[in-house]
Amino acid sequence: MIDFSATVAAIATPPGKGGVALIRVTGPEAFAVADKCFRPSRGTPLSLCPPRTAVRGDIVDGEEVVDDGLALLFPAPHSYTGEDTVEITCHGGLLVTRTVLEVILSAGARLASAGEFTRRAYMNGTLSLTEAEGIGSLLEATSRGQLRLSARESRSRLSQALSALHEELVLVMASLYATIDYPEEDLAQLSREDLTQRLTEAQHTMRALLATYKTGRTIAEGIPTVICGRPNVGKSSLYNLLCCEDAAIVTDVAGTTRDVLERTVALGDLTLHLSDTAGIHETEDLVERIGVERSCAKIEESQLVFAVFDASESLTDEDLRLIDALRGTSATVVAILNKWDLPHADMQAVEDAFSHVLTLSAKTGDTAPLALLVRDLFTDGAVQVGQDAILSNARQYASLATALEQLTYALEALAAGVPADVACGDLEAAIGSLSMLDGREVSQEVVDRIFSHFCVGK
């Protein structure tokens, strides 16, 4: 069991050699710990220095000067964690950083666990659970879209939208309870018609939020994507183009790629979990056959398939078999007519088979048209990432969907004219689901799982 009343410290910058490193200390004894190991140049104890002001000084272990650096004080509650916090910046060498951390731990702090700073912020009310999840996503971002989705303004918009829904339902329920408890006193703030109208508006808001999940999930999680085709149509050239480097060997020899190559890449604002597969064809070679089997398995697991065809050559029997095979996939298929910079053959069979066909030269072209097409296929253009409140993970979606279902039951009860306490029960359940969504009421297991993905120092 983690003791969240203790003062903790951790290195907040990535491990390795750098210009500077930052060590964060937070908890009730943070200032006292810092006073033991940081000696300001002006002679004033660090705890008496002005808050949020960089103080130059020596980092000491007893009387030994370990390093010199800067320290900033953030008194509670005006800090990231909501507790007294000190940030000490030292030189960024591996040994000096580790030594400074050891000095701080010897002064009375313990080493923070993974994600403990953000978890303390959530526990102390400076962050909602959805905001904390957004910070976790920000740390893992690999595309500009993920950065926008996880930015502070985006996190705040979702938290504010959920808080407004919660407050609205609480107000309606309070009015319903007043009707139940004091039927003769007319203490209800809202009439039955007003209650129905406000709950209907809340229902519309929930549905609009749920509709953002397609876009939020796509941006947050990325799209499992497979490049497939017969040998030597340019699959690896497309893979290298998307990776922005020579990640796969490209030769004129058919069958150069014999296994699945995988890389996470950014395509516009989206992230692709990209797999370059072995050419799909009949072969007696054992190694090639295993590669083809893995290629077929990857297609089954994917959400997006780039089916590559050599537009400079007539379609072969292997191309036609691939077209037939892809008709049954549940993934979205984009047919890519590669080598379009060369004189091209008749590709009508490809255009007839697939709804989404793009011409490209993987060796000389750019990915902008492909990025626009994938964005239109996998996101909702009405949702403005960075400006709208957006759901981005399955936990959020499931909690809000449950709240909507329970709210709908309450509305149906009011419309049927049944006693108000029936609607109250459903409404209270909806409020409980919202409370689980933003962390007002959530199980310890869920909290543990969310913060288990954080790094030490955050």
Q: What is the pLDDT of residues 409-427, one digit of tens each?
A: 989 988 887 777 777 888 8
* Numbered ranges of CATH 1.20.120.430 in the chain: 131-212+389-438
* Numbered ranges of CATH 3.40.50.300 in the chain: 219-378
Q: How confident is the model at residue 387 (pLDDT cuts 50, 70, 90)?
A: confident
Q: How many whole angstroms separate alpha carbon 71 and alpha carbon 416?
A: 64
Determine phi and psi for 239, rounding to 5 degrees: -60, -45
Total length of the chain? 458
Q: Quick one: pLDDT at residue 180?
A: 61
Q: What is the pTM of this model?
A: 0.73
Q: Quick one: pLDDT at residue 329?
A: 86
What fold is seen in the domain 131-212+389-438?
Four Helix Bundle (Hemerythrin (Met), subunit A) (1.20.120)
Three-class SS of 148-210: HHHCHHHHHHHHHHHHHHHHHHHHHHHHHHHHHHCCCCCCCCCCHHHHHHHHHHHHHHHHHHH
**Domain 8-128 has what CATH class?**
alpha beta
Mean pLDDT of the chain: 85
CATH architecture for residues 219-378? 3-Layer(aba) Sandwich (3.40)
- Residue 48 is given by DSSP the state G
Does residue 270 carry a pLDDT above 60? yes
Q: Quick one: pLDDT at residue 20?
A: 94
Higher pLDDT residue, 142 or 4? 4
